[in-house]
Amino acid sequence: MPGLERRLKSEGVGEVHFDRFARGRYATDASHYQIMPVGVVAPRTIDEANRAIAIARDEGVSVLPRGGGTSQCGQTVNHSLAIDCSKYLNRILELDAAGRRCVVEPGIVLDDLNRALKPHGLWFPVDISTSSRATLGGMTGNNSCGARSLRFGNTRENVLSMDALLANGETAHFGPVSADLSDIPSSSPLRDIARDLLTIGAREADEIAARFPKVQRRVGGYNLDALVPGRNDLNLAHILIGSEGTLGFSTRIELKLSPVLGRRAVGVCHFGKFFEAMDAAQYLVKLKPIAVELVDRTMIELAHEIAMFRPTLEQFVRGTPDAVLLVEFGEDDQDENLRRLKQLHETMGDLGFSWDRPGAKWGGVVDVLDPALQAAITDVRTSGLNIMMSMKEEGKPVSFVEDCAVPLEHLADYTDKLTRVFEKHGTRGTWYAHASVGCLHVRPILNLRQEKDVKAMRAIAEEAFAMVRAYKGSHSGEHGDGIVRSEFHGFMFGDKLVRAFAEVKDRFDPKGLFNPGKIVRAPKFDDRMNFRFAPGYRGIELTTELDWSAWPGTGGGFQGAVEMCNNNGACRKMQGGVMCPSYRVTRDEKDVTRGRANTLRLAVTGQLGPDALTSDAMAETLQLCVSCKACRRECPTGVDMARMKIEVLAARAKAFGLSLHQRLVGYLPRYAPYAARMPWLLNLRDKLPGAAKLSEAVTGFTARRSLPKWRSDIFDERKVDTPPRLRGRDGEGTLPPPAALRASTSPACGGGEEKEVVLFADTFNRYFEREVIDDAIRVLEAGGYCVHLAKPRDRSSRPLCCGRTFLSVGCVSEARQEAERTLRALEPYIARGVPVVGLEPSCILGFRDEIPAIIGTSLARRLSELALTFEEFLAREQKAGTLRLPLGPIGQKVLIHGHCHQKSFDAFSAVATVVKLVPDVAMEIIESSCCGMAGSFGYGKDTIDMSLAMGELSLLPAVRAAPADAVIVADGTSCRHQIHDGAGRKAVHVAQLLARSLGARPLS
Ligand SMILES: Cc1cc2nc3c(=O)[nH]c(=O)nc-3n(C[C@H](O)[C@H](O)[C@H](O)COP(=O)(O)OP(=O)(O)OC[C@H]3O[C@@H](n4cnc5c(N)ncnc54)[C@H](O)[C@@H]3O)c2cc1C
Ligand code: SF4
Ligand code: SF4
């Protein structure tokens, strides 16, 4: 489309992308479909969006409006020009708190909106599971429904009006109007359309009454029910809501807001049989809860396997129920909630449930009144899909019958029969979600690469929808129509209404400008040509460096690992956790885990042309990935982009070699011993005027930061007989030099009652901040531990190294050599099961993560079990009741910033545990994402701006706001440098804090 591309680029419509990589990132939503868009535009203003759409119309190209792209039914993929509203069109245009209304642009994300509304005591109450990335444009597009829809209704009930750009280029206001339409201005382009719509509504009123299901959860088709005569709430916005971008492009959305929920009471109803739970739902809703959510046994069992959910389950699950219903009461008056909770107990008793009454059905209610536990339970519930999607095999839970809704009196029957349908087709599904409105989520497991499973999908869909029709339910109860449901509208609504839907579409959009082929004139839902795994889809042959054997596919499983991304978009959240720091700065699909995973998937399946994996476009896609490993933990399906990046870097290193910058980063452990012999020379770079600028041009290290200072008094375990002076701190000499530096570093170590520990001295602390190592030894020795300092077992005097710097530039074989050398040195300790403790999180945790993935030996695996961060070791000892540290108060507040890898490996809480060992300490955790320094990332001349911007997201402002005498604890070398450079504050390792607490002197 050269004409289209040229015009879009020259006529100023925002960011325009037509390359295959960018288009590929917009070819999927959270469904199983994949359709390449023609191009992508991210307009900066609504005007730009309107202009882009006008150009597309002129050029005869259709348009696909897009928000977060989290739809599950294929409504957000098309052979169109994709208009990404989420990047820039995300402003709140008006807020009338007193009138409880606001006006927003379509790209604003629900959580962002609710954060802005919270200080006013308000929220938009359609609380969908994807609230962290779903946009209001997408929610209105799909008529999205929240868990509390029983109380608040769907999106449709909470939108007051909308403005939309129509296919003819005019903008119209859709809102409440009188039945005779007299209040629509004569100049409005909507006047004629509205008249025609009402004619259709009147003509089809009987059919609508007969064929539209009477359940609350009906989002299928166009909302013709809004147009029938006799309604006193005629609102033309209702025809746009749920229209999936097929009628117009929404530009302003006026929302009805509600007061935020106060205290609530939750009763967790337990059932011994799933059928009993389903049958009970109809009686429980009579108590008027605001939500009744189902979690079944499979989900409970799966969640129990996940460390972060287990403690929550232990608090609210009693025995081994087949299903639980989470019944939530949320009236303004908590006494009323408690009264209803009591009634819930009575109702369950009346239904014959008792924990221990002889002859009763096993079951009962567990009360949950603690708001923190209530929130934790919601977390488990809303993670339901994610818990299931983490399965690694080729067959995956597939969404196509997953939000059918049936009247509550049929729920038990329906779920029972559908389970049998699954069994008949050799599959199974796990049930969860909105029992209150008869809309349960279930995804049978199918492998859509196989024709037989695609056939099973059709058979299941047809049988399921036939059942739903018989129950007078809705086949499209939450996630919309897209490609999955539209084909079945004729079966569910009848041909007459389908013709009326087509009439509505044609009245708005006769030439098919907006998202064609959705709701009306849709393709077959099982047309494999539209599938992500289309016929012929296969991985290219490729050699990989890390162990991917847990996944299927080529590259030793690399293909299966990248295919784990199901596009649910959790990596697009802007707050909470760490993932994904680069997206939080750029808001660009290229810079989010999902965009990277999609690009990799297309590359390793040959869809981006030859050599895509080693291409510059791929390097650009991964450039801002700081390898924070947050996705490894926070991505619901465990997409581990930091590891994947190593493969790409390795492939590029093989193809093109390393740049000087990469060499200087990667080979640091090899040249550091020489540099430490002439620190004055290397430090000239930051002393001589102009030297930094010159070095920037040659080495790629930014001149805007000083580099870590070289020194000659590095930490050197070989000099055990001549203890080095402990420099640079107040009170030097008042503490004895660590015994480990004076005495034994042999495996025998002292003997007697002492507990052994090996301290791994990493390259960064060894050469630049040896005080951290000294203090760690002091603390360990003060605790009575015998500290070993492992020495190389070869002839080289070069210190040991974990290989981290090599991995960061893709030199996997060098990293392997380093790690193998360290393994040999640690072997005697590993054999005795001595804990291996490290100070730099990225180094010591590498022993748990990458090292076993590049060295598949039992020794490497054993080390991964023994490797602990310093604070993890102490916290473990504390828990075992064996830690004896003579700590004194320090009299200063402590703020803690967690290293991303600590967070990724659940090792962060240990920092707080050990800080709390300091008597009377006042401690605060900084809610931070990645510090932005991320090893060498912050030193790159091309990445410094991004690095600082990441720091500014949360860490640096929090440090600046900290009291001047507060101690900032940051265990990562890079984090400490970022804090120094960005906020002018010195941060310390927790070992340094504890060492001071041993001496009970304030930290300077
Ligand atoms: C794990 C998971 C859980 C989910 N849970 C829920 C849930 O609890 N409840 C629920 O209802 N849904 C849920 N969904 C579905 C989906 O997240 C929601 O429908 C969400 O509202 C879609 O928002 P989005 O911004 O991603 O929209 P997109 O997918 O980007 O777009 C949705 C539709 O709106 C149209 N659209 C977008 N912007 C505009 C615009 N400016 N003008 C006109 N049309 C536009 C698009 O063309 C598309 O047809 C879930 C999905 C996933 C993956
Ligand atoms: S990378 Fe993970 S979190 Fe992001 S969309 Fe893919 S599966 Fe979801
Ligand atoms: S490793 Fe960090 S920066 Fe990279 S994709 Fe994952 S979350 Fe984003």
SS (H, E, C) 921-962: CEEEECCCCCCCCCCCHHHECCCHHHHHHHHHHCHHHHHHHC
Distance 433 CA to ligand 1 centre (A): 17
Phi, psi of 518, rounded to the nearest 5 degrees:
-120, 145
The reported pLDDT for the residue numbered 674 is 96
Give the separation between CA 114 and CA 130, rounded to whole angstroms: 13
| Best residue among 26, 76, 392, 565 to mutate for probing ligand 2, ranked by most atoms within 8 Å of CB | 565
Distance 325 CA to ligand 1 centre (A): 26
Give the separation between CA 349 and CA 365, rounded to whole angstroms: 9
Tell me the pLDDT tens digit for each residue of 351-384. Answer: 999 999 999 999 999 999 999 999 999 888 877 7
Tell me the pLDDT tens digit for each residue of 293-338. Answer: 999 998 888 888 777 788 899 999 999 999 999 999 999 999 999 9
| Best residue among 48, 71, 443 to mutate for probing ligand 1, ranked by most atoms within 8 Å of CB | 71
Does the beta carbon of 130 lie inside 6 Å of ligand 2? no
Does the beta carbon of 71 lie inside 6 Å of ligand 1? yes
Amino acid at 99: G
Does the beta carbon of 643 lie inside 6 Å of ligand 3? no
Q: Which residue ranges of the chain lie beneath pLDDT 50?
A: 720-737, 740-748, 1002-1004
The reported pLDDT for the residue numbered 438 is 83
Distance 594 CA to ligand 2 centre (A): 5
Does the beta carbon of 600 lie inside 6 Å of ligand 2? no
Which pTM value belongs to this model? 0.94
DSSP β-ladder status, 81-84 and 39-42: parallel
Does the beta carbon of 135 lie inside 6 Å of ligand 1? yes
Cα 791 to the center of its chain, rounded Å: 41
Of the candidates 842, 845, 825, 746, the one whose C-alpha atom is nearest the C-alpha of residue 786 is 746
Distance 220 CA to ligand 3 centre (A): 37
Q: What is the DSSP letter of 33?
A: B
Decide if 641 contacts 582 (C-beta within 8 A). Answer: no
Ligand 2: which atom is nearest the Cα of residue 569? 5
Distance 643 CA to ligand 2 centre (A): 15
Ligand 2: which atom is nearest the Cα of residue 596? 1
Relative to the alpha carbon of 49, which ligand is closest?
A: 1
Residue nearest to atom 44 of ligand 1 (CA): 245
Ligand 3: which atom is nearest the Cα of residue 579? 7
Cα 995 to the center of its chain, rounded Å: 37
What residues have CB less than 8 Å from 473, skipping those under 6 apart?
213, 215, 404, 405, 406, 407, 410, 414, 438
| Best residue among 31, 32, 45, 70 to mutate for probing ligand 1, ranked by most atoms within 8 Å of CB | 70
Relative to the alpha carbon of 130, which ligand is closest?
A: 1
Does the beta carbon of 383 lie inside 6 Å of ligand 2? no
Ligand 3: which atom is nearest the Cα of residue 628? 2
Q: What is the dihedral of CA 17, 23, 26, 31, to 10 degrees?
A: 170
Query: Edge to edge, what strands does the sheet with 265-271 contain?
Result: 353-354, 361-368, 265-271, 323-329, 291-296, 432-434, 439-441
Distance 70 CA to ligand 1 centre (A): 5
The reported pLDDT for the residue numbered 745 is 45
CA distances from 534 to 43, 99, 225 (A): 31, 51, 37
Residue nearest to atom 4 of ligand 3 (CA): 625
The reported pLDDT for the residue numbered 753 is 66
Does the beta carbon of 66 lie inside 6 Å of ligand 1? yes
Q: How far apart are the first and last CA of the chain?
A: 64
Residue nearest to atom 5 of ligand 3 (CA): 593
What residues have CB less than 8 Å from 439, skipping those under 6 apart?
145, 215, 217, 403, 404, 405, 433, 477, 478
Q: Tell me whether residue 652 is exposed, middle or buried, using C-beta atoms within 10 angstroms of its C-beta: 0 to 12, 13 to 18, 19 or more.
A: buried
| Best residue among 600, 622, 628, 631 to mutate for probing ligand 2, ranked by most atoms within 8 Å of CB | 631
Does the beta carbon of 37 lie inside 6 Å of ligand 1? no
Ligand 2: which atom is nearest the Cα of residue 634? 3
Distance 111 CA to ligand 1 centre (A): 14
Does the beta carbon of 594 lie inside 6 Å of ligand 2? yes
CA distances from 470 to 406, 464, 467 (A): 10, 10, 5
Phi, psi of 923, rounded to the nearest 5 degrees:
-130, 145
The reported pLDDT for the residue numbered 1001 is 52
Does the beta carbon of 570 lie inside 6 Å of ligand 2? yes
Give the separation between CA 327 and CA 507, rounded to whole angstroms: 44
Encoding tokens for residue 66?
């897009």
The reported pLDDT for the residue numbered 734 is 36
Distance 749 CA to ligand 2 centre (A): 48
Secondary element (H or E) of residue 269: strand 265-271
Q: What is the DSSP letter of 474?
A: B
The reported pLDDT for the residue numbered 977 is 96
What residues have CB less than 8 Å from 342, skipping those under 6 apart?
none
| Best residue among 565, 599, 620, 631 to mutate for probing ligand 3, ranked by most atoms within 8 Å of CB | 631
Of the candidates 496, 561, 543, 486, the one whose C-alpha atom is nearest the C-alpha of residue 516 is 486
Secondary element (H or E) of residue 968: strand 967-970
Distance 46 CA to ligand 2 centre (A): 28
* Cis peptide, bond prior to residue 85, ω within 30 of zero: no
Give the separation between CA 773 and CA 782, rounded to whole angstroms: 14
Does the beta carbon of 593 lie inside 6 Å of ligand 3? yes
Tokens 């994996």: give the residue.
613
Residue nearest to atom 7 of ligand 2 (CA): 565
Of the candidates 76, 241, 146, 143, the one whose C-alpha atom is nearest the C-alpha of residue 439 is 146
Does the beta carbon of 566 lie inside 6 Å of ligand 1? no
CA distances from 320 to 284, 430, 434, 713, 877 (A): 21, 16, 21, 61, 33
CA distances from 483 to 326, 488, 518 (A): 32, 10, 6
Does the beta carbon of 903 lie inside 6 Å of ligand 3? no
Does the beta carbon of 29 lie inside 6 Å of ligand 1? yes
Ligand 2: which atom is nearest the Cα of residue 579? 3
Phi, psi of 64, rounded to the nearest 5 degrees:
-120, 105
Ligand 2: which atom is nearest the Cα of residue 641? 1
Encoding tokens for residue 180?
């005779």
Tell me the pLDDT tens digit for each residue of 955-995. Answer: 999 999 999 999 999 999 999 999 999 999 999 999 999 99
Give the separation between CA 443 and CA 254, rounded to whole angstroms: 34
Encoding tokens for residue 750?
């002292």
| Best residue among 591, 635, 641, 643 to mutate for probing ligand 2, ranked by most atoms within 8 Å of CB | 635
SS3 215: coil
Distance 567 CA to ligand 2 centre (A): 5
Residue nearest to atom 2 of ligand 3 (CA): 628
The reported pLDDT for the residue numbered 723 is 35
Residue nearest to atom 53 of ligand 1 (CA): 568
CA distances from 793 to 518, 753, 820, 856, 934 (A): 67, 27, 11, 21, 31
Does the beta carbon of 628 lie inside 6 Å of ligand 3? yes
Does the beta carbon of 637 lie inside 6 Å of ligand 1? no
Relative to the alpha carbon of 25, which ligand is closest?
A: 2
Does the beta carbon of 72 lie inside 6 Å of ligand 1? yes
